[in-house]
Chains A and B, each alone.
Chain A
């Protein structure tokens, strides 16, 4: 059963790769999704993409309405406006610092729905719409210590690690079909000290012969602190 699934998938991918990309004459749109209920952190990205001429939407996902329909609805509206969705960016994080023993699994589940599960839905809706064009960029974002979470960062780190693996799976599955999937690690919680808009714009602009899958953003102050 498993092997059959893998073979079927390989066959379908080969057929898809033979199809020429659709000629899409619509103007391009970017969506910046904000996860969680913190202060929006994607303003500089929105501003940069707008300045560069893309129709850019800034959407905050409420904590309580995480569903395929809610997320698909956002994409559908943009397509009704006759734009082609070419960049999808996800920023923001959910979760709190606490001792491992204080984690409530129901809260952990809700945080996971707001971050990781949302990213599955956002990714599925994105690649479904980008596949015919054989192009498009999806950029996910995780917080600082996703690579090795410190004390009290179990829940935050766990959500980020999930999103990171999702981004890798997508990159490996859809990269060969022209969709660029990238993952940015915020080396510091305060993005304002970084040129975030410029970094994301650069990733979007990358030629497919030299795509970045992962980029770790840091700033000098934090590195100085870390190295004492």
Chain B
């Protein structure tokens, strides 16, 4: 039988949450379908998975486009295996004062978080409903959130409104599809991720990580374990939401 599929949407740098979850799921015996925007970055992750004896495929797509999302699920269905885990891990946190939030900024946040999350969520639920219930479990869908999913702060009105928007949708999905064995969960990632994204903003990013001190930033491979716990504990424990933050993060 083919390996069960994990679809990880929003994979970039190896030192990011999406890639870390991909590596984790592959090491647990899943075929990982990685969706991202940069072929080169995805190749590095798939090479690592391959070297470790795992299986993966890569899709370049923009999840704010309905046709792109359709293509992702066509590729998933071509693998002839059960889709059991989906992680929606996109969203870009660019701070801006409220009065400088242009229509484009506000809309882009919404499209990345809510539109893409809804499209991927619908495709995932439809696909998973065809799975046999394995001990009552058809699949797990996890959305990556942030502290902004729970509270709005200055400079983050657009990001926060979008993150809370998809969290609300996930909460409703969870109630609707739990009886069919689909677990929908939110992960609230609170803190700076010691990864490629923050370092891509140059010396400032390095400074930000350094200013957090030893073990003050989230390590993606450690964060990935929390996602895996949500998937693997079901149905004994149904986790609808959890947060992860470094021990000294103020919250």
Contacts and interface: CB of A to CB of B under 8 A. Distances in A.
A173 B97 contact: yes
B191 to A, nearest CB: 15
B153 A127 contact: no
Contact of B98 (A157, A158, A160, A173): A173
A31 interface: no
B143 to A, nearest CB: 12
Contact of B161 (A1, A127, A165, A171): A165
Contacts, number: 149
Interface stretch (B3-11, B42-50, B77-85, B164-172): B164-172
A158 B169 contact: yes
B99 A117 contact: no
Interface size bucket, B side?
Answer: 35 or more
B166 A117 contact: no
B153 A168 contact: yes
B160 A151 contact: no
**Interface hub of A68, A108, A161 (most chain B Cβ within 10 A):** A161
Contact of A2 (B95, B106, B162, B172): B95
B204 A166 contact: no
B97 A160 contact: no
Interface size bucket, A side?
Answer: 35 or more
Nearest to A4: B204
B31 to A, nearest CB: 25
Contacts of A103: 118, 122
Contacts of A116: 110, 161, 165
A137 B207 CA distance: 39
A170 interface: yes
Interface string A138-159: 0000000010111111110111
Contacts of B103: 68, 117
Contacts of B137: none
A-B CB proximity, top 6 nearest: A168-B152, A169-B152, A169-B157, A173-B154, A154-B172, A162-B161
6 contacts: A3-B207, A116-B165, A120-B101, A168-B152, A169-B98, A171-B152
Interface of B: 66, 94-99, 101, 103, 106-107, 110, 114-115, 118-119, 121-122, 125-126, 148, 151-158, 160-169, 171-173, 175-177, 201-202, 204, 207-208
